[in-house]
Amino acid sequence: MKTLLYCSLLLLTLSCKKAPSDIVDPEPDTVLAEYPDWYTLTAPVDKEIKGVWGDRDKTVLVTTGFAVFRSTDQGQHWQEVLPQQSIGIFGIVQNQDTLFTMTGLNNQSNGNTYQQVLVHANNYSLDDGITWQPYTKRNPLLDEPRSGQTIDKRLLINPVTASTGTTYRINQVFLDGPSATSGPFETPGVITSDGRRIDLPQLHQLNSLFLDSQQRLYVAGTDAVCGRGGKTGVTSRL
């Protein structure tokens, strides 16, 4: 079994490849040999993966920002189950037997910790993501958290905490030096609460993390970046 610590699945876009926008079955995986300690899945379209939900051995859902795709064969084939939306989709949350697409992302500080929280449910599914309906009701779980309120861990996409208590966080390295807390940055991998640093063989811009029911870590982001230089928009060091 291919594992690296507790990390098992890397989900990447085809951002550095030329591909038609309507591809549903991705090209054969070309990065697997470069990631011998990871299972890898590539997006079915030429867009970065923003969020992931599910179980690699059963059903996996990914959002590419404005659409949702579903696979039941470990990413060999994908079905577009929620077509292109006018509102961005940052992740998928499960509450009991219902799945929700989340259209908001709250970047906030919790003491000295930076965290990213999914907010604003927009669509829901009762059949494991096969079909979706607009969500117009209210669920306290899915409300935007108030200041000081405890956040349900299902809404957190960075960091995420396993049942063992280990926390995984996207490692953001600011390019303006070790004292920088804003400006352009790169994301070489994941760091853990017990001091481990898990770097990927190539540089990617990582978007979110997810732990499945077996506590396997899923990392979603872009393919290997076509050029160095970092990304801007975060105001706090991880």
pLDDT-derived band at 40 (thresholds 50, 70, 90) equals: confident
Selection from 14, 3, 119 nearest residue 62 by Cα: 14
pLDDT-derived band at 211 (thresholds 50, 70, 90) equals: very high
Q: 117, 145 in Cβ contact below 8 A?
A: yes
CA angle, 204 then 215 then 126, to 5°? 95
Residue with tokens 């549903």: 24
pLDDT-derived band at 229 (thresholds 50, 70, 90) equals: low
206 Ramachandran zone, left/alpha/beta (phi>0; psi -120 to 50): beta
pLDDT-derived band at 227 (thresholds 50, 70, 90) equals: low
What does the domain layout of the chain look like in residue ranges?
7-163+202-221
Q: What is the pLDDT of residue 98?
A: 95
Rounded CA-CA distance 50/65 in Å is 6
Residue with tokens 């770097």: 199
Residue with tokens 């030329």: 18
